[in-house]
Structure 1
Amino acid sequence: MPRPRRRTTAPSPRRSARNRHGRGLRSSVAGPHLPMLRTREGDFELIVSTTASYLRGLWPDELAGVSFEVAQAPAEAIHDDHVDRWKVHHDTRRIVLYRLPIVRFAHAEDVDELHERMLIESCVFRAVADLLDTDPWDLAPNRYRGF
């Protein structure tokens, strides 16, 4: 019994890349059952953004229009006696947090994820306190009360 003939027209190159050898569309490399990959940069930005949104909830009028940015450590952040972990621009109401100095000092003490998160949050608190010209402990006074 003869087989039916296939079409002689070639498929478009875009279609052939997605449906290779008739197997259907390709899936992701990690597969559908594995969690999405995390990066250190993404985790750092997530901690900064959640801490900033927490502080915006406490100080909505004072932090209105303040932008939080994450950058690598530029050359002007390195001084003879210290390394800047953040830079506050009062005129443009902008806070720039330098990821590498914060993370490198955290790993110098060989700390776990919780302590690293606390270090990043404390840097955001201190940068906001510098912008508002107040003490970092005054930003969330009811949070640190004893039980």
Structure 2
Amino acid sequence: MAWRRGRSAQAYSRPDRHGRHGREGRSPVVRPPLPPLDTRVERFDLAVGSVAEFLRSAWPELREVSFEMADMPPATDADGIPRWVVSRERKRIILYRIPIERLGHLHRNDDLHRRMMIESCVFRAAAEYLERDPWDLGPERFRFL
């Protein structure tokens, strides 16, 4: 025996604002994912962190050193506004984001050159901590074969 519907087989269309149960549409529980934030602070943090990890892996003396970031130095010194401060007693290197980003002279203002400037400051700060030349810290990085 064939099953039959009591209604005619016409398609029933609901207004667009109603869901399948006849109620008004509700907002989704989870919103669509937002694009990742890409701020200057996060780019600076990423650049410093990647160079710090490279230096720690290459130089055992830096494994216990804390690479920290701050926005501005508390005061200027005789040489002007410091870009970083090295404390061997506390095993800390503090890099100041705003002076590094704003007072650096770039010949090309793009993401690559900004990142290279940040990385060079991390290398110079680590070299000051180790009392070495910055070029001695990663010679294989600067060799072009």
TM-score, normalisation: structure 2: 0.75
Instruction: List structure 1 segments (4+ residues) > 3 angstroms apart after TM superposition.
Output: 21-24, 106-110
Please give the alpha-carbon distance, in whole angstroms, between the structure 2 residues aligned to 1:55 and 1:36: 28
Q: Which structure 1 residue ranges, 5 or more long, are not aligned?
A: 1-20
Which protein shows a greater Rg?
2
Percent identity of paired positions between Structure 1 and Structure 2: 47
Contact 2:73 2:82 in 1 (8 A): no
What is the total number of aligned residue pairs between the two structures?
121
**Aligned-pair CA distance for 1:46:** 0.7
Contact 2:66 2:93 in 1 (8 A): yes
Q: Residue by residue, what CA displacement relative to the aligned partner does 1:55-102 show, whole Å, maximum 9, x if unpaired?
A: 11111x2112110100011232x2354210000011011000000000
Please give the alpha-carbon distance, in whole angstroms, between the structure 1 residues aligned to 2:53 and 2:105: 26
TM-score, normalisation: structure 1: 0.74
Q: Does 1:23 align with 2:27?
A: yes
Structure 2 equivalent of residue 49 of structure 1: 49
Contact 2:106 2:113 in 1 (8 A): no
Structure 2 equivalent of residue 10 of structure 1: none
Calculate the aligned-residue CA RMSD, in Å.
2.0
1:75 counterpart SS class: coil
Please give the alpha-carbon distance, in whole angstroms, between the structure 2 residues aligned to 1:85 and 1:140: 21
Tell me which protein shows more helix as a share of its residues.
1
Decide whether aligned partners of structure 1 residues 108 and 129 sit closer, same or farther in structure 2, where only a CA change above 3 A counts. Answer: closer
Structure 2 equivalent of residue 83 of structure 1: 81
2:64 counterpart SS class: coil
Q: Does 1:65 align with 2:64?
A: yes
Please give the alpha-carbon distance, in whole angstroms, between the structure 1 residues aligned to 2:50 and 2:113: 16
Q: Does 1:120 align with 2:124?
A: no
Please give the alpha-carbon distance, in whole angstroms, between the structure 1 residues aligned to 2:92 and 2:114: 23
Please give the alpha-carbon distance, in whole angstroms, between the structure 1 residues aligned to 2:101 and 2:63: 28
1:145 counterpart SS class: coil
Q: Which structure 2 residue ranges, 5 or more long, are not aligned?
A: 1-24
